[in-house]
Amino acid sequence: MRLKMKNTIINILRILFCIIFASMAIFVFFNPKKTQTNILKAVLSNSKEDTTLVNLSNKHSGRFNVIFESEDMFNADAAQKEFLQLTDKSSLQADIAAGEKIADILEVYKTHHKKLLSQKTRTELKNNNYELIKKESLERLYNPMSISLLPLEEDPFMLFSDYLSMLSQKNTGDLYEIDGKYYTILKLTLKKDISLSPTLLNLEMPKIINTKEKIEQKYKDTKIYLTGSPVHTYYASSKSMKEINLICLLSSLFIILICKFYFRSFKLLLPIMLSLSLGMLCGYLLTSIFFDSIHILTFVFSSTLIGICVDYSLHYFAHDNDIKLIFKSLTMSMLTTVCAFLILMFSSIELLKQISVFTSGGLFCVYLFVVLFYPILCKNIKPSPANFDIFTPFNKVPQKIKIISASVFMLIACTGLFKISFNDSITDMYRPPKFLANAEALYNKLNKNNSSPLFLLITGNNLQEILETEETATKNLDQNSFTALSKFLPSIKQQKENNLLINSLYQKELNNYASFLPENIRNNLLNTPDEQEYLTYEKLKLPVLKDFMADDNTSMIIIQNETHQKLKNTQNNKNLKFIDLKNDISNKIKNCRTSCLKLILPAVLILFAVLSAIYKPKNASKIMLPSILAGFFVIGILSLFNRQINLFHILALFLIAGFSLDYSIFRYNSTKNNTVSHLKSNWAVLISCATTVFSFFLLSITSFRLISSLGFILSLGLTSSYILSLVLIPEPSAPSPKASDNI
């Protein structure tokens, strides 16, 4: 009767498993989620402040640059024009197109020229430095290189030319010469839907790269470099997908070899692959349900499920398909590992939360599948484990020698703790390929930009309030040290003041200065009433203006490093907010690392409480000690070899505890009985460790530093924890010869 009821409960659980899984699959099918490739999204949270950082860094996410290098200036120019001609105009546009509208923009500026002044001239007029104004005006007038964009009859002091010179910057199509080589830069912008979609980006970027190769073949002496966010995103995502496929392939081959080497059967592969597939799918479904998008690095990390989830199957088959024999150990293993991953949910980093949900869900799904379905699916699968014992040589070593040896290695590693140092720089998370890094360095050299930009955010209730705040904040700055919306579009308040300043200059100095003009022209200038219309955002229609708006109520001033401190010391306005992308993001990472360090002790105490409830405190300490020592070991080794510790090394300590506790739990349970199952358990633990370590080792050689940091420390930590478990949880007395013969 009891057995029948137990079977009924198990059947109900199987049905519920299928219903819940199918429901999740249907929901995600009708609500598919996009794949996220933005690097910053991997390391920042969804808070308002972090969202601002991401938005600023993504302000030009669709923009990239094509640099043409040649020893012949005509070839550089010709290559650029042909490249532009071959680009797909439906998917991107060149900033040079703005040049086609320059005539219209100038006409708008000319109409309002008596309301426009450079900041330098404006200051001089306010201080009544008329003699200096006249001197500078004459210099412009008689300078053979000077161009007057308005007739002298309309602008005798050439103040309009002075204003435009303040705005002049290097633009697309300008020619640079460095070390005997000529360069031109073509600035292109992908449509927003393309730049934000990895699928569309992966379709468009190959076309651009193909065009680049065609031009280089035609112009043999010309080299073309690509820079910008879309280029990095394309190469990073493409490489990540290749790495995912390679890791999955190698991990799968490793499992196949184990099945052949130890179990001597390939029949196990079908249920193992089925359980892994369901685990991966379940992880994806849960992540899709709980998050708006899934970061591509979540998929990279999730490939380690192959090494982790296969453990449950290996233990099942290693113990003669007897789920009762390993149910307690299997359940405790699942709980400790899932708890370790769920701790990542307390992190503020989006990527780690996704990894937490994906991996925890996948692990739990595989556990349920093994416990509920293996007994009926694997009835006819009877593997024949290898009958040799590779543990005997290790077991023959006296326990005292093992402990002394382990202590020596631990002491050597822990000496590194005295030279521990941390690295919270965002640049440590992603390092571009050498050819992209060189291209970015060349672009910065051409633009004389050797530092990351700093932003001053200006908030206001309307555009005019924003412009007035900008003008107040920057009035004492060198005009070459910042770029702002108000430089291109003065506030109406300032336009009125400019108009009064110019009229005052005319009234006091025009007749004396402009004797080269007929008297009637001078009289017209003095007596012609000013237009009451002012230059506005809608009239100007300058494409660059939208780049200065973070949102409808916030503009951003781009400033140089040396200007930052000056502004910070002199301004005290609640409407101003300084953003230093590089340092602010690094500070966010540092705060997160500090928070994670504070979580280590509570995490250890929680795991200790769970284990104590099952195994008693003394035995729980014995089970946890290898994992704790492994954590000290890996941090000490990294520091000993001058490797700086980053956030993801700290987070890996949680995972080491979750994964490696499995080895201690299975080993402790197996030592409680002196039977043949002890040897089988040893093999199962060894194979489990080998598959997991192999998966993480593959991650450690991936190109993305964030993931490789986790992979390296986990592979090292799990290996050391396994070895320490062999030392600290000693073998029971050797099995009898009769039992050994039956293996």
Structural domain tally of the chain?
2
Distance, CA of 161 to CA of 179 (rounded, Å) = 32
- The residue ranges of DSSP E strands in 151-268, in sequence order, are 175-178, 181-190, 223-228
- Establish if 691 belongs to a structural domain: yes
Name the pLDDT band for 193 (thresholds 50, 70, 90).
Answer: low
- Residue 82 near residue 215, CB atoms below 8 Å: yes
In Å, the largest CA–CA distance within the chain is 125
Question: Are 373 and 407 members of one domain?
Answer: no
- Establish if 650 belongs to a structural domain: yes
Task: Give the pLDDT mean for 16-39.
Answer: 87
Task: Give the pLDDT mean for 210-235.
Answer: 88
pLDDT of 186 > 80? The answer is: yes
What is the distance of C-alpha 380 from the center of its chain? Answer: 48
Q: How many CA atoms lie within 13 A of 549 on its CB side?
A: 15
Question: Are 291 and 430 members of one domain?
Answer: no
* Res 357: pLDDT: 92
Residues 6+ apart with CB under 8 A from 723: 406
Name the pLDDT band for 579 (thresholds 50, 70, 90).
Answer: confident
Residues 6+ apart with CB under 8 A from 305: 276, 279, 280, 283, 359, 362, 363, 366
Predicted model pTM: 0.70
Distance, CA of 638 to CA of 148 (rounded, Å) = 65
Query: Look-up: residue for tokens 């002075």?
Result: 162
pLDDT of 271 > 70? The answer is: yes
Name the pLDDT band for 676 (thresholds 50, 70, 90).
Answer: very low
- Establish if 651 belongs to a structural domain: yes
Question: Are 308 and 400 members of one domain?
Answer: no
pLDDT of 24 > 90? The answer is: yes
Q: Highest-confidence range of 427-431, 476-480, 619-623, by mean pLDDT?
A: 619-623
pLDDT of 659 > 80? The answer is: no
* Res 269: pLDDT: 83
pLDDT of 481 > 90? The answer is: no
* Res 454: pLDDT: 80
Cα distance from N-terminal residue to C-terminal residue, the chain = 35
- Residue 593 near residue 650, CB atoms below 8 Å: yes
pLDDT of 668 > 50? The answer is: yes
Q: How many CA atoms lie within 13 A of 639 on its CB side?
A: 21
Task: Give the pLDDT mean for 165-170.
Answer: 67
pLDDT of 450 > 60? The answer is: no
Question: What residues pair up with 457 in beta bridges, in sequence order?
Answer: 556, 577
pLDDT, averaged across the chain: 81
Distance, CA of 526 to CA of 222 (rounded, Å) = 56
Inter-CA distances, 610 with 217, 336, 615, 718, 736, Å: 66, 8, 9, 21, 35
Number of H helices, E strands in the chain: 31, 12
Query: Look-up: residue for tokens 């994806």?
Result: 284
* Res 738: pLDDT: 43
pLDDT of 177 > 90? The answer is: no
* Res 427: pLDDT: 72
C-beta contacts of 709-712 below 8 A and 24+ residues apart: 709/646, 709/648, 709/649, 709/652, 710/301, 710/648, 710/649, 710/651, 710/652, 710/655, 711/304
Q: Higher pLDDT residue, 543 or 96?
A: 543
Question: Are 610 and 678 members of one domain?
Answer: yes
Question: Are 282 and 306 members of one domain?
Answer: yes
Domain containing 424: what range? Answer: 394-437+581-743
- Establish if 707 belongs to a structural domain: yes
Task: Give the pLDDT mean for 486-498.
Answer: 92
pLDDT of 673 > 90? The answer is: no
Question: Are 373 and 421 members of one domain?
Answer: no
* Res 27: pLDDT: 92
* Res 426: pLDDT: 72
> Which amino acid, one-letter code, is at 506?
Y
* Res 732: pLDDT: 59
pLDDT of 25 > 90? The answer is: yes
Question: Are 406 and 299 members of one domain?
Answer: no
pLDDT of 299 > 70? The answer is: yes
> Which amino acid, one-letter code, is at 312?
Y
Distance, CA of 581 to CA of 452 (rounded, Å) = 8
Residue 600: CATH number of its domain: 1.20.1640.10
Task: Give the pLDDT mean for 256-282.
Answer: 84
CB atoms within 10 A of CB 62: 21
pLDDT of 237 > 50? The answer is: yes
pLDDT of 306 > 90? The answer is: no
Question: Are 342 and 398 members of one domain?
Answer: no
Distance, CA of 473 to CA of 457 (rounded, Å) = 11
Inter-CA distances, 1 with 5, 6, 8, 225, 282, Å: 6, 9, 11, 76, 35
Name the pLDDT band for 496 (thresholds 50, 70, 90).
Answer: very high
Q: Among the listed ranges 158-162, 199-203, 390-394, which one has the minimum average pLDDT value? A: 390-394
Q: Among the listed ranges 237-241, 447-451, 515-519, which one has the minimum average pLDDT value? A: 447-451
* Res 734: pLDDT: 47
pLDDT of 352 > 90? The answer is: no
- Residue 172 near residue 187, CB atoms below 8 Å: yes
- Establish if 567 belongs to a structural domain: no
* Res 96: pLDDT: 43
Name the pLDDT band for 258 (thresholds 50, 70, 90).
Answer: confident
CB atoms within 10 A of CB 311: 28
pLDDT of 405 > 70? The answer is: yes
Task: Give the pLDDT mean for 598-607.
Answer: 83
> Which amino acid, one-letter code, is at 535?
L
Task: Give the pLDDT mean for 111-117.
Answer: 89
* Res 197: pLDDT: 67
Q: Among the listed ranges 36-45, 207-216, 312-321, 601-610, which one has the minimum average pLDDT value? A: 36-45
Residue-wise DSSP of 299-326: HHHHTTHHHHHHHHHHHHHHTTT-HHHH
pLDDT of 549 > 70? The answer is: yes
* Res 677: pLDDT: 57
Q: What is the DSSP letter of 267?
A: T
Q: Higher pLDDT residue, 65 or 306?
A: 65
Task: Give the pLDDT mean for 401-411.
Answer: 86
Of 346, 381, 416, the one marking the end of a domain is 381
Question: Are 612 and 708 members of one domain?
Answer: yes
Distance, CA of 474 to CA of 456 (rounded, Å) = 10
Q: Among the listed ranges 99-113, 189-203, 352-366, 410-424, which one has the minimum average pLDDT value? A: 189-203
Question: Are 311 and 412 members of one domain?
Answer: no
- Establish if 65 belongs to a structural domain: no
* Res 16: pLDDT: 94
Q: Higher pLDDT residue, 204 or 564?
A: 204
- Establish if 514 belongs to a structural domain: no
Task: Give the pLDDT mean for 198-226.
Answer: 87
Inter-CA distances, 191 with 34, 93, 112, 206, 550, Å: 17, 8, 33, 16, 18
Name the pLDDT band for 743 (thresholds 50, 70, 90).
Answer: very low
pLDDT of 562 > 80? The answer is: no
Inter-CA distances, 400 with 630, 663, 733, Å: 20, 22, 16
Assign 622 to helix, strand or coil: helix
* Res 287: pLDDT: 93
Question: Are 629 and 694 members of one domain?
Answer: yes
Name the pLDDT band for 368 (thresholds 50, 70, 90).
Answer: very high
Question: Are 413 and 281 members of one domain?
Answer: no
